Structure 1
Amino acid sequence: MALPDVTRTPPAIVSDGRRARSRSSRAKIVSAMLDLVAGGDVSPSAAQVAEVAGVGLRSVFRHFRDMDALYREMAEAIESQILPILMRPPEGATWQQRLFDIADRRAAIFETIMPYRISANVRRFDSAFLMEGYRRQLRLESEALAAYLPQAVRADAEGARGLNVILSFSTWRLLRHDQNLAPQEAAAVVRRMLDDALARWPQG
């Protein structure tokens, strides 16, 4: 009876090794995408991602069928960072105080996601997926704010929309990116605009 060839690697171990290498390559690709965007490249190419990740271009598209799929993975990675901040209920004895807490929290969130959201916004006109993601973000911002507004304020459509603009990512990007303000300066402007806007409603 022939003895088993103990020098050969069992198929299960070979398969596990391939899966591990595949997961490693995928993680390197996502990390490279995040690094490129964080470094200021708002629209990196697949070739650039492959070069930074240290993998072949074919490997990028073996893991991600197109750049939209890679952007989706990037969005999920970013959401995992900001979700704990976003889900914590705002603090404050009055609804106005809670809005200031939301303003401070959004400043931290927007500062974290700014390069990635700018990157997605640049590409959204060529991508149905990114355009839908953009519209979803706007809805979430508006709905999250409306949840903490009194009925009388929600009924004031113009006033409520004004609050939404003040606390939006677009306003934060304009202050930080277009006006080149430091984070603390941008946060101070947002708080000043919010304070002025809230003056029209009674405290409580």
Structure 2
Amino acid sequence: MTSMTTTPPLDPALTDGRRQRSRSSRQRIIDAMMSLMANGEMSPSAARVAEEAKVGLRTVFRHFDDMDAIYAEISAILAKQLLPIAMAPYRHSDWRDNVRELAQRRVQIFETMLPFRLAANVRRYSSPFLMGQYAQIVNLERELLLRQIPDHVRSHRLRTEAICAALAFQNWSLLRHDQQLTAEDASTTTMLMVDCLMQSISEP
């Protein structure tokens, strides 16, 4: 008669320890990627991320299929932090006041996102995932602004497009990165642009 052997049950403490170490490694990889981008490395390699996270390169790809998967994780973190700001109800009855409030929100959101969107822009031309995400973000930003602009104002098509351009991330990047303005000066400049454009639109 053949004897039957059974595999001893796994020690729950050992299993929990492995899970915790796995979660810790994954978080260190994400934190390392965000830290590198925040410090000006626009396109860090997997090897560079592994070095910063103090993990092996194989560990990076055990947790993430490719670099786009890390970008997706970072995008989810930023969305959780910033979407409530972007989507909050507006408090004013006058569309101009709502656009000013939207501009103030954009300043806060764009400044937080600046290093990460610059890094994604560098990579998006070789990444269908990041290119698709870029299009979604641009469309959402435009839609949220147009919701605050009444129909009779949208009939001033080019002025409306100018407001959209003034409140686009590319404009914030130009002011902060290319013209090297401080966040405070870039904010003031953005509000000046928006106010001048709104004043140029006549009411019916």
Q: Return the TM-score normalized by structure 1.
A: 0.91
1: CA distance, partners of 2:34 / 2:152 = 42
Does structure 2 conserve the Cα–Cα contact (< 8 Å) formed by 1:94 and 1:203?
no
Does structure 2 conserve the Cα–Cα contact (< 8 Å) formed by 1:95 and 1:150?
yes
Does structure 1 conserve the Cα–Cα contact (< 8 Å) formed by 2:156 and 2:201?
no
Q: Which residue of 2 aligns with 1:11?
A: 11
Does structure 1 conserve the Cα–Cα contact (< 8 Å) formed by 2:68 and 2:129?
yes
Q: Which residue of 1 aligns with 2:177?
A: 177
1:69 aligns to 2:69 (yes or no): yes
The two structures, once aligned, show a CA RMSD in angstroms of 1.7
Q: Which residue of 1 aligns with 2:159?
A: 159
2: CA distance, partners of 1:9 / 1:52 = 37
Deviations 1:146-171 (A, max 9, x none): 11110112233322211110111100
1:118 aligns to 2:88 (yes or no): no
Does the C-alpha gap of structure 1 residues 203 and 105 become closer, same or farther in structure 2, counting only changes over 3 Å? farther
Give secondary structure in 2 for the equivalent of 1:44: coil
2: CA distance, partners of 1:12 / 1:196 = 65
Q: Return the TM-score normalized by structure 2.
A: 0.91
Q: Which residue of 2 aligns with 1:28?
A: 28
Q: Which residue of 2 aligns with 1:97?
A: 97
Q: Which residue of 1 aligns with 2:3?
A: none
Does the C-alpha gap of structure 1 residues 167 and 135 become closer, same or farther in structure 2, counting only changes over 3 Å? same
Does structure 1 conserve the Cα–Cα contact (< 8 Å) formed by 2:166 and 2:190?
yes
How far the C-alpha of 1:52 sits from its partner, in A, is 1.1
How far the C-alpha of 1:56 sits from its partner, in A, is 0.4
2: CA distance, partners of 1:111 / 1:90 = 21
Deviations 1:76-129 (A, max 9, x none): 111122122112223334100110111111001100000000000000000000
Q: Which residue of 2 aligns with 1:198?
A: 198
2: CA distance, partners of 1:203 / 1:67 = 50
- Tell me which amino acid in the other structure corresponds to 1:169: F
2: CA distance, partners of 1:177 / 1:89 = 30
Query: How many percent identity over aligned positions?
Result: 44
Query: How many residues matched?
Result: 197
Deviations 1:41-66 (A, max 9, x none): 11111111111111100000000010
Trace 1:125-144 onto structure 2 (pairs within 5 A). 125-144=125-144
2: CA distance, partners of 1:106 / 1:200 = 22
Q: Which residue of 1 aligns with 2:149?
A: 149
1: CA distance, partners of 2:48 / 2:101 = 39
Unaligned runs of 5+ in 2: 1-7
Does structure 2 conserve the Cα–Cα contact (< 8 Å) formed by 1:96 and 1:203?
no
